[in-house]
Amino acid sequence: MQSLNHLTGKQLLEARRGIQIIFQDPFASLDPRMRVAEILEEGMIALRPEWSAEQRAARLTQLLDQVGLRTDVMNRYPHEFSGGQRQHLAIARALAVEPKIVVCDEPTSALDVSVQAQILNLLKQLQAELGVAYLFITHNIGVVEYIAHDVAVMCQGKIVEQGAADAVLYQPQQAYTRNLLAAVPRVGRMGGTSG
């Protein structure tokens, strides 16, 4: 494991390129003064300086296709999109520089339930296609059940239990985890954990 605090130059650039984030609020996470193409290209210019303008243009088209948006959205502003569409754009922005890990900070909590399902399905599909790893931060046990392979339960900033999703969710060892899971109303498994 490597501390990010002491990285500089090329090592810092590689670390930034390797880890990207999708924020919780799609309404606040996209710059309202920038067009979609500028939002998506900004990271490429900073973190993939070796890519030519033609390569970046081709990547923009590919990204929009991957997240299910048409290329004619490139000249539009974020306020012209719904919350779900904005989160699709945020996903595209996170994937633009081909990261290894994407931190997903409650990426569905600001969306209605039907849109939440669309976003989670898209994330699973992209993970299968691209091999990217996700670090999900969430309070939603249904999301954990649906998307997680491994789980870490935190209490007051410390990990109190971790392991395979099925083991932690259905056979928790720690009292805190058992109490946390008992407090969550659950109808049944949301669809199992992914393999």
User: What structural domains does the chain harbor?
Assistant: 21-138 (3.40.50.300), 143-195 (no CATH)
Per mean pLDDT, which range of 42-46, 79-83, 129-133, 187-191 is the poorest? 187-191
Q: Are strands 19-22 and 158-164 parallel, antiparallel or unpaired?
A: unpaired
Q: Residue range 41-52: average pLDDT?
A: 95
Whether residue 156 has pLDDT greater than 60? yes
The pLDDT assigned to 7 comes to 83
Q: Residue range 129-157: average pLDDT?
A: 93
Q: Residue range 119-139: average pLDDT?
A: 95
Whether residue 188 has pLDDT greater than 60? no
The pLDDT assigned to 12 comes to 86
SS (H, E, C) the chain: CCCCCCCCHHHHHHHHHHEEEECCCCCCCCCCCCCHHHHHHHHHHHHCCCCCHHHHHHHHHHHHHHCCCCHHHCCCCHHHCCHHHHHHHHHHHHHCCCCCEEEEECCCCCCCHHHHHHHHHHHHHHHHHHCCEEEEECCCHHHHHHHCCEEEEEECCEEEEEEEHHHHHHCCCCHHHHHHHHCCCCCCCCCCCCC
Whether residue 57 has pLDDT greater than 90? yes
Q: Residue range 18-27: average pLDDT?
A: 91
The pLDDT assigned to 19 comes to 94
The pLDDT assigned to 142 comes to 86
Q: Residue range 128-156: average pLDDT?
A: 93
Whether residue 171 has pLDDT greater than 60? yes
Confidence of residue 133 (pLDDT cuts 50, 70, 90): very high
Q: Tokens representing 47?
A: 């973190």
Whether residue 195 has pLDDT greater than 90? no
